[in-house]
Amino acid sequence: MTPDLLEQGARHAEQYRAAHAVARGNTESGGREAGFSRLHTPGEVDTTHGRILYLEEVSVSFDGFKAINQLSLDIAPGELRCIIGPNGAGKTTMMDIITGKTRPDAGRVFFGSTIDLLRYKESEIAQMGIGRKFQKPTVFEQLSVFENLELALKTNKAVTASMLFKLDSKQSDRLAEVIHTIHLAGSVSRQAGYLSHGQKQWLEIGMLLMQDPKLLLLDEPVAGMTDEETERTAELFLSLKGKHSLMVVEHDMSFINTISDIVTVLCDGSVLAQGTLAQVQADERVIEVYLGR
């Protein structure tokens, strides 16, 4: 090869690298493009590049008010990410967007590097393995703890199909494991209506866990709980970390302090700060808008 050709080749390689860098998203991991060109099985969530959820420059307005404003954020598989921020910051709206309840006006939302969540309906997104817990517990009060968990496995809601439904051994094992995880092993046959507020919350989390979700979104899970229930919920979340990815929105700072690795502070629909709780608590802008002086 002539020196000329060598030089030309080096120039091309440099241009390619520069173009590639530009094409990457502005998120910490290099954006979802970081996962491109890897082998991927259709239908599976591709996390080979180390991220399970990406939001890139997402915006949504309600009657001209920007509830979410150029929001970029990503989460690693198995991570327990805490989201804090003042009322109206857009935390719940962000979850609405991830779960397909609200469509953004702009931006991209990806589950792994290949699944464009904006192309799917809310029910399809739930089926893919994104479970969501709203603030109010929604368990079936007339049914027992066991029946509630069993029901969470039923995909065919037709009455006859439900009556014929029997757990296979794998599902029975899963149910036993989940009951233990949510601290309700002693209340298996108890009617859900008689559980405490905290226990109902755990049961609902258990119902989500029966589907073995890859990503769990939890909006203010300890609101209304006693201190003891809050502590047990912290233990529960720490035990789920690693097996599932979790996004937890909370205002309870001592709870956040117990469970958090990375905390993202949302304000006016975008990320104001991110880091350990100590780091964001020391951030002047965060103190100004949220924590107070």
By CB under 6 A, is residue 88 in contact with ligand ATP? Answer: yes
- Cβ nearer to Mg ion, comparing 66 with 183: 66
> Does residue number 93 form part of the binding site for Mg ion (CB under 5 A)?
no
Question: For ligand ATP, which is the closer residue by CB, 48 or 69?
Answer: 69
Contact 251, 221 (CB under 8 A): no
Residue 242 region by backbone torsions, left for phi larger than 0, else alpha for psi between -120 and 50, else beta: left
Residue located via tokens 């009060």: 141
Question: With CB cut-offs between 5 and 8 Å by kind, which of ligand ATP, Mg ion, none does residue 89 bind?
Answer: ligand ATP
Query: Out of Mg ion, ligand ATP, none, which partner does residue 62 contact, by CB within 5 to 8 A per kind?
Result: ligand ATP
Secondary structure string (H, E, C) spanning 83-123? EECCCCCCHHHHHHHHCCCCCCCEEEEEECCCEEHHHCCHH
- CB 266: neighbour CB atoms within 10 A? 25
In the chain, the amino acid numbered 293 is R
Task: Assess 82 for contact with ligand ATP (CB under 6 A).
Answer: no
Contact residue for ligand ATP among 34, 45, 71, 89 (CB under 6 A) = 89
List the single partner that 88 binds among ligand ATP, Mg ion, none, CB under 5 to 8 Å by kind. ligand ATP
* 91 near ligand ATP, rule: CB under 6 A: yes
260 is a site residue for ligand ATP (CB under 6 A): no
For position 93 contacting ligand ATP by CB under 6 A, the verdict is yes
99: contact with Mg ion by CB under 5 A: no
- Beta strands 245-249 and 53-62, pairing class: unpaired
The single residue among 27, 29, 72, 92 that binds Mg ion, judged by CB under 5 A, is 92
Contact 69, 269 (CB under 8 A): yes
Query: 83, 57 in Cβ contact below 8 A?
Result: no
Provide, rounded to whole angstroms, the least separation between the CB of residue 224 and ligand ATP: 14
- Name the nearest CA neighbour of 117 among 215, 28, 207, 23: 215
Site string for ligand ATP, 16-55 (x = CB under 6 A): ----------------------------------------
> Where on the chain is the footprint of Mg ion (CB under 5 A)?
91-92
